Amino acid sequence: MPAPTTCPISEVDRALSSYINSREDTLRIRRTLSKYLTTSLRPVNTATKNEHVNHVCPHNISAASTNPPGLKGCRLEYLQALRAHSQAQAKHRELQASLQDLQQRHVDENRTQAQADNDDGSTQGYIALLRQRRRLAELQVIQDSLEKLLSARPSHAPKDPKALVKETIGEQPDLPAERLEHISQSNDDQTWVFKLKQEVLESRANMDRAKAARVEAQSHSRGEASLQQQVYALECAKDEMVEWVQGELVKMEEDSIFLEDASPIKRPLKDNAPVDLASAEQRVRDVYTQYTTARASLIESYESLQHPPTVEQDEKAEIEAASTKQTTAPQMPITKLFPHLPHLARTSNNDRALLQQSVYLQSQIAAADQDIEDALLRLSGESHLLPAGSKDVAAWGNTALEAEATTCEFVKEKLLASKAEISGVSRVVELCTLQGEVLAAVK
């Protein structure tokens, strides 16, 4: 609705006519805003209702515990900030009041001390006794608060909380012996600053020594092989051993056969080919002839050993030997092999035992390799450090090194955080001790 009073400049009136409301509309908008603002305030009185002029939160009126309807986002954060600000101001006023109370109490004590010359000894002693009782009651309240705090948030130290508090801040004083003016606060501050500087210098020196020791350890450990190099060397040695065993097994298979393969059960079946009877009979005759010849020569050699030959037989033997020397070479008699037969049999048994041992070791190596592959597959499926199905030993070695480094960094971070927390707790304990001393001196 356009305004009842028009602007003398027609261009300005046309431009601002859509933004200018009448008096009734303006009052209605103001009432709506005031109603929205007063819905979130308690208590509601006449002064609160008349705040529609400035549209701000009235002073000295606490906001309601419930948020206004439709309030969210930045407006809700702003309302929470206002509440926190009001709480901080209230806390500040309380602290100022307590500080003024302490100052006034100190002035009152000094005034009483100045007027103590006009009083008798009994009155002065009674007043001192009352003050000491009040101080003792306040110290007991502080001690109870500390015990409740420790019971609510107990420390993880191995000692009992009460024993730890007693060890840190000492025994509970019965009667304070010093006053506020006797405490040299500046000297205490300088002492603590000096201790802090000393601790900083000691920590810096410890850090330098640790860095030097780390550099020295790294320089010494450079000559040693790393875990990855050791794993690679063991893998190469295993491959070479497997290749050597396989080569030896191939050589043994070429020269001889396994005992289990010589079994008639495992003997391969041959096709029934037509048998040549004439050739078979001829082979049997040749073998039998060789057998009879060898048997005759063996009997002759045995008889020659049992009955030494005569001179004529020696001459005949020499003549026969001379005549046959040019045609045939001397043959070793079978009797000379008899002493070596046990050794030959033992050697054959040892060869067969070594062959069986090699087969057993090969099967054990294959089983161990299979177990390692199964373990790596299961580990890759459970740990998620590498993709599923990873069986490379070098990759697992690198992953183990990375995991170990990550664990070391995590442990160091936790140690630093715990040291920071311990230092914070020690500072809090020191502040509590100083506060107790100040309170004791004030009273």
Q: What is the pLDDT of residues 369-398, one digit of tens each?
A: 888 888 888 887 777 777 777 777 788 888
Band (255; pLDDT cuts 50, 70, 90)? low
181 occurs within a structural domain: no
Q: What's the CA gap between 202 and 279, in Å, rounded?
A: 105
257 occurs within a structural domain: no
223 occurs within a structural domain: no
Mean pLDDT in residue range 228-249: 79
List CB contacts of 28: < 8 A, sequence separation 6 or more.
none
pLDDT recorded at residue 215:
84
76 or 64, greater pLDDT: 76
Q: What's the CA gap between 98 and 92, in Å, rounded?
A: 10
Is the pLDDT score of 431 beyond 80?
yes
Q: What's the CA gap between 56 and 92, in Å, rounded?
A: 23
pLDDT recorded at residue 143:
86
The angle, 0 to 180 degrees and rounded to 10, between the axes of the packed helices 227-255 and 393-442 is 150
Mean pLDDT in residue range 311-337: 56
- Which range of 102-116, 188-202, 350-364 scores highest in mean pLDDT? It is 350-364
Band (90; pLDDT cuts 50, 70, 90)? very high
The half-sphere exposure of 7 on its side-chain side, counting CA atoms within 13 A, is 12
3-state secondary structure of 41: strand
Band (410; pLDDT cuts 50, 70, 90)? very high
pLDDT recorded at residue 318:
60
pLDDT recorded at residue 239:
83
Is the pLDDT score of 231 beyond 80?
no
290 occurs within a structural domain: no
Q: Residue 139 CB: number of other CB atoms within 10 A?
A: 19
Do 17 and 41 contact (CB within 8 A), yes or no?
no
Burial class of 143 by CB neighbour count within 10 A (0 to 12, 13 to 18, 19+)? middle
Band (135; pLDDT cuts 50, 70, 90)? confident
Average pLDDT, the chain: 74
393 occurs within a structural domain: no
31 occurs within a structural domain: yes
Do 63 and 40 contact (CB within 8 A), yes or no?
yes
Mean pLDDT in residue range 15-23: 80
Q: What's the CA gap between 344 and 337, in Å, rounded?
A: 10
Q: What's the CA gap between 104 and 110, in Å, rounded?
A: 10
Q: What's the CA gap between 32 and 71, in Å, rounded?
A: 16
Burial class of 112 by CB neighbour count within 10 A (0 to 12, 13 to 18, 19+)? middle
CA angle 188, 189, 195 (to 5 degrees): 90
Is the pLDDT score of 423 beyond 80?
yes
3-state secondary structure of 1: coil
Is the pLDDT score of 362 beyond 70?
yes
Model pTM score: 0.22
22 occurs within a structural domain: yes
Band (139; pLDDT cuts 50, 70, 90)? confident
pLDDT recorded at residue 315:
56
Say what percent of the chain tops pLDDT 90.
Answer: 5
Band (186; pLDDT cuts 50, 70, 90)? low
Domain that holds residue 8: 1-71
Selection from 85, 31, 35, 39 nearest residue 64 by Cα = 39
51 or 235, greater pLDDT: 235
Domain count, the chain: 1
Mean pLDDT in residue range 218-246: 74
List CB contacts of 40: < 8 A, sequence separation 6 or more.
63, 64, 66, 67, 68
Return the minimum-mean-pLDDT range out of 45-59, 62-76, 155-169, 393-407. Answer: 45-59
339 occurs within a structural domain: no
Pseudo-torsion of CA 185, 187, 192, 194, nearest 10°?
160
